Structure 1
Amino acid sequence: MHILEYDVLKNLVDLRKIYLCHRNADPDAIGSAFALSWLFGGDIGAVGDLSRAAVQLADSIGIKPIIDPDLDSYDMVVLVDTSVSSQIGGAMLRRYGVIDHHLDRDLLENAEFYIQREADSTAQIVWDIIKSSGRAGRIPREVALALLAGMVSDTGRFRHASAETFRCVHEILEAGDVDYGEVMEVLSRAPLDFSQRVAVLKAASRAEISWRGEWIIACTEVSAFEGSSAMALLDLGADVAFAASSQGGVCRVSGRASFRAVQAGIDLADLMKSIARSHGGSGGGHRGAAAMEVRHPAGRLLAELAEAAFERLNV
């Protein structure tokens, strides 16, 4: 059942609830879950682990999300920043709702309620929920920090930000006792560890580079850190980058696109969702950053993604 922001409370009142974030939860997921917990009460959980940036955010706002919680002990599970079953490891859900800014519909049919609309971050939707509850006049510093970190992170530090994002940032800075510099300090305190630095450097050394016209696409296979590896290739000059890893027969791919490529028509969320479904998997994300999981050889999958990206760039 689709609901509006001011209807969330009636779906959560008097229930033992948990706000569940996707695997390798990012600052947008953790920040949004924390803000919802402050607003309505309830626990915060995540599947598998948190990203390094999310760990730093969690430490800064003083929370310890429950990793792989026992969902049967809750009356309601609220999936935050998550609308694809593969992101929660196929967890069995009885009663659940969805609050998310991705437009995947995988989990909506059986949800008791959902708020899903296109936005730069789930934190923006949560901020609108807070405003509709009448509690946006003054919010705790930690809530402001959590929401802002989610917005900054999911927009690539505003490289893919809309006017709505800047409106929300302005409102939160006024409502919370936090400076923008504090947000950037939290996010910058998550340096690459040794294994991640090695993985990123190997990704660059193994990358296969193709170009047509003025567009450059880089593809690489890694053992882990797909997102960081794809972003590194973008920073090195690629317009679109894909990094794939294979574990247990499942291939995971992260894709990143430059602002210029997005402006030219690339929508990685749609591209990866389409290709994933053609192989019986799932995918989604944003126009400039997306991911997918399928059972398919990594090399062939990367070649297919690169060709599809070139087609969408009309070259």
Structure 2
Amino acid sequence: MPTVPTSSAQTAREALAGRLKEIRRDAGLTGHDLAVRCGWHKAKSSRIENAKTAPSDADIRAWCDACGAQEQAADLIAANRAVESMYVQWRRLHRKQTLRQIQQSRVPLNERTKLFRVYSSGLIPGFLQTEGYATAVLESAAWLRDLRDNIPEAVAARLARARVLREGEHRFVMLLEQAVLHYQMGDDETMATQLGHLLSVMSLPSVSLGVIPSQGQRPIWAVETFNVYDDEYVNVELLTAEVSVTAPGEVRDYLKTFAELQRRAVYGARARTLISTAIDALG
């Protein structure tokens, strides 16, 4: 299973750093020589080559100019920007888009995906959220990131995305840790409505909903929430960022992990019992 969710981005950073190092060596320059030509401290060259510091576009141009490899700068800059897109900090994303726009930006991917695999260790998945629950979640996100957003608009956009549950030829395989049923977002009424909605959604032919019991031996601990789109792309949700995983080997790791978690989940009447118990616990 994946050891760190940022490994795709880190691997790409290291590959870019390796290309820059080769360019320097091909030019017959030491790290000190390069630093002198670029006008920066030699430690910066070392940090870039060891993937400790991400280079800017200007850094890459200066590097290539110093090594007489100007023709490679454009490709390297494009590769560097691709790395940045793999690991996107929520705060940086919110500087460019509102919560509503972020919800809407997911629509094209959702519409072209045939098979969704969703694993959640902390929240009810967005596709299954009710208005009240989604409001509580997005208000929490706005508080954490110091946002001033129109929450009702963002909630409406999130709920609109859920139409793929009932439209088109999509299939959803969703797994929830049992603890998610007891993590309360909003008041008792909000949670009761949300959990009742889960019971309703389970009857949809496009949806397979499993709950992973908290008790019992398991070979895999609760990992980070992730979504697999077909067999090609994984989106990992962290507290401060989202990570895009496209490397085939890592996608296979997530699929393997999902399959194991799927075997540990309960479905049908047993899942309904766990959800109903969570409702009863609200009093």
Q: Same fold (TM over 0.5)?
A: no
TM-score of the two chains, using structure 1 as the length reference? 0.25
TM-score of the two chains, using structure 2 as the length reference? 0.27
Q: Which structure exhibits the higher relative contact order, with contacts defined as CA atoms closer than 8 Å and separated by 6 or more residues?
A: 2
Structure having the higher helix fraction is 2
Structure having the higher strand fraction is 1
Larger gyration radius, structure 1 or structure 2 = 2
